[in-house]
Amino acid sequence: MDAIEVDHLTKKFGELVAVNDVSFHVERGEIFGLLGPNGAGKTTLIRMLTTLTPPTSGTARIEGHDIRADQDGVRRILGVIPQAFTSDPELTAKENLEIHAKLYGVPAETRDELIDSLLESVELLKFRDALVRTFSGGMRRRLEITRGLVHSPKIMFLDEPTTGLDPASRTHVWEMIRSLRERSGITILLTTHYMDEADKLCDRIAIVDYGRLAALDTPTRLKDSVPGAEVVEAEFEGEPPDWMEQLGGLSFVSGATRHEEAVHLNSHDGPATVAALMDLARARKVTVKKVTVQSTTLDDVFLHYTGRALRDQLQKGTRELVRFSR
């Protein structure tokens, strides 16, 4: 049995279809990422899976518990870290964990020890009795993750766990997520709009756009599935007049363009193109000053499957947010 089975899940808000007939499954012990821009439907999907929002149609099973028919069963086995901070700033770190432990029915005799060990694992033990409102964003996110673990869940949902954090805190959270899976074999489903986060953390990634799944596979396979997405960038000295035509005819090259001093060659196989390029330069007595191969990124993958760049979507989302807030 899979940890998560999503079966034709749809959510409509009036005319707006936030999640449109989405189906996928997540294996036990997997780190599964939902990658997409703001407003793609990731949070709505997570809210349906965590019983916070009822689906319009379709269903899902979490460790065999149906999100429509057995909501209590679902809630008992989930640890959820919502996008917004939900720990109480007027309580201490320990009090926040204690109250959640009580809500999950963690026995009193093991509670204190468990809370201390969880706080120690995220290096917050010395801040145990400090009010959460005095915490930095990174500390608070670590506390939130700890709170989601207080009842030893089988599955963790993390909704954009590193949004708004500085680079050091992001790395810290990534390490936490990795070590969590290694230590306890827990299944993790996370949403993100950071490509590097999805690339480094996830075993499989589902690309979400306009409420639909555009693609789903491992990061490597997704990148491999994009044709001609590697770019060989090179600079030369002593180029003959027909040099650009000759470069365009190299093996695996689908196009050659000049960007000031540099030449960009779009290639289906970067290393093979570099080898052919070096042979050609030697034969035509052209000096190669610099050569680099840029691999396919998830942004290229997103562009390939959705027809738009993820960065553009994020910027558009930000602009819309600014306009809305005005």
Partner 1 sequence: MNLQRVFALIERDMRKFFRSPALMLSSLIFPLVQLVVLGYAFGGKIKGARVALVDEDHSVVSRKIREMFNGIEAGPQTFRIMEYTSLPQAVDDLRVGFVRGVVDIPPDFSRRFYHNDRPRLLFTEDNSDQFVSSSLLERVQEMTDTINAPAVTSRLERQVDLNVVEIYPYVEYIKYLLAGSTSMGIFITAMIGGGITYIDDKSRGLHEGYLLTPIRKTELVAGLIGAGTLKAFMSGMVLCIVGGLIAGIPRIWDPVRLVYLCVVVLAASVAMISLMFLVMVRVDDPLVPRAIFGVLNMLLFFPSGAVYPTEAFPGWLRWISVIDPFTYTVHALRNLTVKSTGIGGIYMDVLVLCGFSVLMVGGCIALFKRHL
**Options 12, 28, 39, 99; binder of partner 1; rule CB under 8 A:** 99
State which residue, 100 or 204, has the beta carbon closest to partner 1: 100
**Options 42, 75, 142, 172; binder of partner 1; rule CB under 8 A:** 75
3-state secondary structure of 116: helix
What's the chain's length in residues? 326
Q: DSSP of 32-73, one letter per residue?
A: EEEE--TTSSHHHHHHHHTTSS--SEEEEEETTEETTT-HHH
Q: Is 110 in the site for partner 1 (CB under 8 A)?
A: no
Token reading at 83: 């996008």
State which residue, 141 or 204, has the beta carbon closest to partner 1: 141
Q: Is 76 in the site for partner 1 (CB under 8 A)?
A: yes
**Options 19, 37, 51, 298; binder of partner 1; rule CB under 8 A:** 51
Q: Mind spelling out the 3-state secondary structure of 211-248?
A: CEEEEEECHHHHHHCCCCCEEEEEEEECCCCCHHHHHH
- Among the listed ranges 90-98, 188-196, 262-270, 304-312, the one in contact with partner 1 (CB under 8 A) is 90-98
Q: Where are the beta strands (DSSP E) in the chain?
A: 4-13, 16-26, 31-35, 57-62, 65-66, 78-81, 155-159, 187-192, 204-209, 212-217, 230-237, 253-259, 262-267, 287-294
- Among the listed ranges 85-93, 219-227, 235-243, 268-276, the one in contact with partner 1 (CB under 8 A) is 85-93
Rounded distance, CA 155 to CA 29, Å? 9
**Options 33, 36, 37, 82; binder of partner 1; rule CB under 8 A:** 82
State which residue, 41 or 219, has the beta carbon closest to partner 1: 41
State which residue, 3 or 234, has the beta carbon closest to partner 1: 3
- Residues that bind partner 1 (rule: CB under 8 A) add up to a total of 28
Report the interface residues with partner 1, using CB under 8 A.
Answer: 47, 50-54, 72, 75-76, 78, 80, 82, 84-88, 90-91, 95, 99-100, 102-105, 131, 147
